[in-house]
Copies of this chain bind each other. A is one copy, B any other.
Amino acid sequence: MTRGETSPIALLTPKGAAAEEIARHLMMLIGNGTIAVGNKLPTEQTLSRQFGVSRTVVREAISRLKSDGLVQSRQGSGVSVVPASLRKSFKLQDAALDRRQVIALLELRQPLEMASARLAAARHTAKDLRKIVDAQQRMQSSLDWSDEGLQADLDFHHAVAKATGNHFYADFMAFLGGALRATILTARSESKNPNIKAITLQEHAKIIEAIKARDADAAGHAMLLHLQGASFRMAPP
């Protein structure tokens, strides 16, 4: 094995995901400190040989890291790792949501959802409220609880977040919803409880009622109960 034996990536990668694979690899190397902050990545040519792909592919991978603010490049010098405090994106590595991670993520979501409900109660417009109620009705009339129903469920929470008037709430809630979507889906399909839909609708109704009454405390409390209930139904301890 004197040289460049075929890459571990170029071959077993479906096709067209080479850059993604390499980006993941480099992210890992940076994440666990193998390439420390301030240090330089191997040169593009080195990486292209290591992975058995062209420099173009390597450059596309590095471009992703730059986009996340993980590295910066200077022509003639190289690509160096930037401090964590300058990272520009918050992202979850997709396939890594095991049970513990899901619980942790739900724990992050809870205070945000509560604050979201409180702010929505205080600030919502008539239009915001219509959107919330609409999502609730779509959920109620959904025939498919797993798919159409889930979408309406996520839409409900997204609509509440939008009613805060703070687009960061809306964006982040949409992000979290998407991240949890697959997990919720499988949890629902595995669940034997036939009353989940009715219970969920009832909990949502309480939230709507409180928001409508512009009662922030009640809205936050209703949201907390809903999340705790949903969390329990999804993954009983």
Contacts and interface: CB of A to CB of B under 8 A. Distances in A.
A88 B85 contact: no
Contact of A111 (B16, B111, B167): B111
A112 B105 CA distance: 12
A75 B14 CA distance: 12
Contacts of A172: 90, 108
Contact of A174 (B23, B87, B112): B87
Contact of A168 (B87, B108, B151, B174): B108
A108 B67 contact: no
A154 interface: yes
Nearest to A67: B64
A125 interface: no
Nearest to A178: B85
B68 A67 contact: yes
A49 interface: no
Contacts of A56: 56, 59
Interface in A130-170: 151, 154, 166-169
A156 to B, nearest CB: 13
Contacts of A20: 66-67
B112 A108 contact: yes
A63 interface: yes
Given A89-B68, A168-B108, A84 B174 contact: yes
Contacts of A88: 91-92, 94, 178
Interface in A9-66: 15-16, 19-20, 23, 56, 59-61, 63-64, 66
A150 B16 CA distance: 43
A48 to B, nearest CB: 14
A174 B89 CA distance: 11
Given A60-B59, A67-B67, A75-B16, A85 B154 contact: yes
Contacts of A59: 56, 60
Contact of A87 (B104, B111, B151, B178): B178
Interface of A: 15-16, 19-20, 23, 56, 59-61, 63-64, 66-68, 73-75, 84-92, 94, 104-105, 107-108, 110-112, 114-115, 119, 151, 154, 166-169, 171-172, 174-175, 177-178, 181
